[in-house]
Chains A and B, each alone.
Chain A
Amino acid sequence: MLTQEEIHQIEHEISLVPHKKAACIEALKVVQQHRGWVSDEDLKATAAILDMTPDELDSVATFYNLIFRRPVGRHVILLCDSISCWVMGYEGLREHLMQKLSIKYGETTPDGRFTLLPNVCLGTCDCAPALMVGGDLYQNVSPEQLDEILSKYN
């Protein structure tokens, strides 16, 4: 069941486009914003508002890597694994994160705090390596700084 607020926001997005379906990515974003991810049930409810079938909506949802169709932790860590960060040694960050959190890419810590995902170039290559935690960007990160960064997120 979507909340009134979610439905309201989705309907607002629909009002901005020529036909309902065109708002589907916005609608998925709305749901994800409220819930962190898009469950099968939420997907169906969202599809119904858009006059789409779940199949049609899921086809779009699964194309994009930042629509989460599986539960994620409270904070999603997007670690840049593209070229400049690679050159600047992002692998050190990766190893540190995996060890510290005891998870691999795509996994969530048992306490539901963090999900670790690799991400393409974050567009801050002059400050590589970089990562984002829950929407906050961190630049020129060294493995030593990671613990402090993580401690900000509960």
Chain B
Amino acid sequence: MVTIFIDNVPYEVKPGKNLLEACLTLGMNLPYFCWHPAMGSVGACRQCAVKVFKDEADTKGKLTMSCMEPVRDGMRLSINEADAVEFRGHIIEWLMTNHPHDCAVCDEGGSCHLQDMTVMTGHNYRRYEYQKRTYRNQYLGPFLNHEMNRCIQCYRCVRYYKDYAGGHDLDVFAAHNHIYFGRSEDGVLESEFSGNLAEVCPTGVFTDKTLKQHYTRKWDLTMAPSVCQHCSVGCNITAGERYGTLRNILNRYNGEVNGYFLCDRGRFGYEFVNNPGRVRKALVRSQLPEAVNPVTAIQEAVAILRTGRVIGIGSPRASLESNYALRTLVGEENFHHGVADNDHDLADLALKILRDGPARTFSLKEVETADAVFILGEDLTNTAPMLALAVRQSVRQQPLQQVAAAKIPLWQDAAARELIQDQKGPLFIATFTDTKLDEVATATYHASPDTIARLGFAVAHYLSDNAPEMNDLTEDEQVLAQRIAMALRSAKKPMVISGCSSGSEAILKAAANVATALFEQNPATGISLTVPECNSMGLAMIGGHKLESAFEAVQNGYADTVIILENDLYRHACKTKVEEFLNTAKQVIVLDHTHHATTEKAAILLPAGAFSEADGTLVNHEGRAQRFYQVYPTPEDIQESWRWLTDLGTVMAHPQMINWHNIDDIKQAIAQELAQFKGIEGITPSANFRVAGQKIARESHRFSGRTAMFANQSVHEPKPPEDPDSPLSYTMEGFHGEAPAPVNPFFWYPGWNSAQSVNKYQEEVGGHLHHGDPGLRLIEPPKESIKHYFTVIPEHFQPIRNHLYMLPLYHIFGSEEQSTQAPAIAQRVPEPYVALSRADALELDKQEGQVLTFSIEGIVYQLQVRIDDNLTKGTAGLPKGLRGVPFAEMPAWAILNKEEPSWKNQPQIIS
């Protein structure tokens, strides 16, 4: 630590930072625009000026941009000196000369960094009296609005979009005071991370278009800390509600997970909650009307459960608590995990690899700082988007070492980029076909699953003789494997990324071998494995029987009654099997929040709370247990699945469940019964927690309309709803200061209404939240782990005549079930297709857009052909989970059907 004097008061600060970071970390209010903690300094806005003095005797000093000035021991500066104060005021004055002053109708109003900084500098009197310049706005797609007149030219948008997120279709145009931020022509922003612009932009140029459909000011939202439900990364989010609908998702900073950013699926997928297809009432299909009150539904369900032989089917997208409640209700021996068997085996394998080690699983933050990465079989941008964004940062690590060597501080962003130019650190990607990350890769390898695995095994062997040897490598494989091994070996913090999306066990095992072999040389080695859904890891940790065995249990009469938890089985098994299963079972009880093919078959359907109407815990791909909180009181009869199940258990006098009154009780039970979840009861303060005797308010103290907003329904002010599960209150009553991070409903601080207020909640800017980032890692490999290698190496891929080896392809917008029900996301979902290699297309005489007919496991597919130049001949790609593409367990051999005379030339699915 070094000492600096700010306005003559000494402070201890960390060396290596710039003055702005130091001042903000000390909790001071110093305005800024162009600086961003994730992106460093460029000195464009000149807003952060302070006076720096040479020594004690120097009384004149020099105006200095604090973001561009390194901290030096003994340095003296002033924030309050008159010139500095006046200059900062002028900066706002200049920025406002052309600003439209339209706060009242601006979506950013109330959470605007420009408003905050304007107030902070004290500038309030307009002297500029000429015409303002105006711009034309652009259509940027379904996610973002564009209002260029509000721009203050801080360059943050392009720096984020291009430099940080690797986008290519947003830029700055023209010069002097005509500069324009946008696209060269109207069009959908291509980056999967474009939504962050809404938070990165300090004013109202880029704002959330989905929010605009049901606009609400930040101060009028009811908000709660939550966790994204749209992939296994588990980014932390803040969800906001008003009038019973979810209004928006904001990033909730977590120093170890998502940092400042979210992907667009996470930010804009929330609207499935507001979907008209929601299940809002309990339905008992044997009654008329079907919709019944909860008591009736429970009675009916209990009657069925009492007489039936019951099995339960869990869900990778339901919380730990709900899965555990179901498992408790039906008994461990009758609990099935509810995912395709292959998916389950893979998740199990992933869990085993992470548990056994020796390499640790990296948090996203650690991935960003890895300096050599090898990805096997994962198209991260589409399967775990934020992991892809982290990898984009990792390729800068090795080049940044030169920056450090040149004594340029790493936060000098432009200077660092100038020095390293286009250099990238080692990133190797082996996938079925090209991926968006390929553009930053050192080398890519597009092959079939087994061939990818073979490359991995080869790399492992080059790294360590203990890893099994391979003898039939092609020369190309040898050269590439050696190159990868060399790059990984010479890195300081290398890592391997793989996961379940390829459907290939061999790939996972190869990845594990690489990590183990690498670990032998370098204990700093890390690994990351993706799993399919937001709680796949939690489900794998709970365990459960196979889905196939559930089908058998009903088939062979072991069971006749099924409870299905938040699961559309048609997405996890082939249609014929599911159909047979649901038709054979005497009684089907389904709990879910949205109608789908499985709910159609339910005799009793219980309306489950979607994430914003529920409390629960998810375990992300790294094994981090994270709690999400209910945002607003559940409308109508909706409640958490675990609550429905507990209700059933209670009525049935289940010895354990009868004692469960709130989520804390369930968490306690989980931690007690299942050792692997030890500690989860403590990841958040319990429901009894109070700050100075108060609950923590989900609404700001400026919340408006509380007595008026429902006056059309009743003029009585109802008693505020109570939340038995958390220390949060549903209204503006309660504590408004800084709550412990895991229960902090939103970032907001006096003078800091925008997303930038998170500075006030961090130990140091861009670092951990006060008292640590929320969540608990449940998986740590043992200290003294045995170095185990998988030894079965697959053979080279061999095409089969009249067959195609069908591989799963993923789409950030389309492959995930819930987000596609959000209208904005739905606009970005591709049409169903089958991807053919050019060689196969030629052989099959298929052109782009023509229909190919094939079948997998008896299901016939007729899909339009997309020609893919990177697929291996003999393999093909089928979009996973896409609407209009029925489930197939992949990889799988598809049989090419004899062509019917082509009387239909449009996508048509027969299944």
Contacts and interface: CB of A to CB of B under 8 A. Distances in A.
A79 to B, nearest CB: 19
A49 to B, nearest CB: 15
A2 B839 CA distance: 30
Interface stretch (B164-172, B243-251, B443-451, B468-476): B164-172
B169 A55 contact: yes
Contacts, number: 34
A150 B284 CA distance: 89
B174 A55 contact: no
A22 to B, nearest CB: 10
B422 A58 contact: no
A19 B184 contact: no
Given A19-B422, A54-B184, A59 B171 contact: yes
Contacts of A19: 421-422
A38 B421 CA distance: 28
Interface in A14-46: 19, 40, 43
Contacts of B175: 62-65
A65 B174 CA distance: 9
B422 A40 contact: no
A59 B173 contact: yes
Contacts of A55: 168-171, 183-184
Nearest to A20: B422
B185 interface: yes
B168 A62 contact: no
A3 B172 CA distance: 29
Interface in B147-193: 168-175, 183-185
Contacts of B174: 62-63
A62 B170 CA distance: 14
B161 to A, nearest CB: 10
A95 interface: no
Classify chain B's interface size. Answer: 10 to 19
A152 B172 CA distance: 40
B168 A58 contact: no
Contacts of B168: 52-53, 55-56
A58 B169 contact: no
Contact of A59 (B172, B185, B422): B172
Interface of B is mostly: loop
B422 A56 contact: no
A30 B390 CA distance: 39
Interface residues of A, number: 14
A52 B171 CA distance: 12
Contact of B185 (A40, A52, A62): A40
Contacts of B183: 55
B439 to A, nearest CB: 10
Contacts of A59: 171-173, 184
Nearest to A53: B168
B399 to A, nearest CB: 14
Contacts of A62: 173-175
A147 to B, nearest CB: 34
Nearest to A58: B184
Contacts of B172: 59
Contact of B173 (A40, A52, A53, A58): A58
Contacts of A54: 184-185
A137 B547 CA distance: 83
Contacts of A43: 184
A63 B185 CA distance: 16
A58 B185 CA distance: 10
A56 B185 contact: no
Nearest to B168: A53
Contacts of B173: 58-59, 62-63
A12 B896 CA distance: 48
A40 B184 CA distance: 9
Contacts of B169: 53, 55
Contact of B171 (A58, A64, A65): A58
A59 B185 CA distance: 12
A135 to B, nearest CB: 23
Interface string B137-155: 0000000000000000000
A6 B628 CA distance: 59
A47 to B, nearest CB: 9
Centre residue among A19, A55, A58 by max chain B CB count within 10 A: A55
B689 to A, nearest CB: 50
Nearest to B172: A59
B302 to A, nearest CB: 61
Contacts of B184: 40, 43, 53-55, 58-59
A23 to B, nearest CB: 14
B488 to A, nearest CB: 26
A52 B167 CA distance: 11
B192 to A, nearest CB: 16
B177 to A, nearest CB: 13
A59 to B, nearest CB: 4
Nearest to B173: A62
A52 B422 CA distance: 13
A48 to B, nearest CB: 12
A141 to B, nearest CB: 28
Contacts of A58: 171, 173, 184
A54 B169 CA distance: 8
A56 B168 CA distance: 7
A40 B185 CA distance: 9
Contacts of B185: 40, 54
A19 B173 CA distance: 22
Nearest to B180: A62
A58 B171 CA distance: 9
Nearest to B175: A63
Contacts of A63: 173-175
Centre residue among A52, A59, A63, A64 by max chain B CB count within 10 A: A59
Nearest to A59: B171
A138 B882 CA distance: 67
Interface string B401-429: 00000000000000000000110000000
Contacts of A65: 175
A45 B185 CA distance: 15
A55 B185 CA distance: 8
Contacts of B170: 55
B206 to A, nearest CB: 15
A21 to B, nearest CB: 8
A54 B421 CA distance: 20
Centre residue among B172, B173, B184 by max chain A CB count within 10 A: B184
Given A54-B185, A56-B168, 16 more contacts: A19-B422, A40-B185, A43-B184, A53-B184, A55-B168, A55-B170, A55-B183, A56-B171, A58-B171, A58-B173, A59-B172, A59-B184, A62-B173, A62-B174, A62-B175, A64-B175
Interface of A: 19, 40, 43, 52-56, 58-59, 62-65
21 contacts: A19-B421, A40-B185, A52-B168, A53-B168, A53-B169, A53-B184, A54-B184, A54-B185, A55-B168, A55-B169, A55-B170, A55-B183, A55-B184, A56-B168, A58-B171, A59-B184, A62-B173, A62-B175, A63-B174, A63-B175, A65-B175
Interface of B: 168-175, 183-185, 421-422
Counting from the closest, the 9 A-B pairs by CB-CB distance are A59-B171, A58-B184, A53-B168, A62-B173, A55-B184, A55-B171, A54-B184, A62-B174, A55-B169
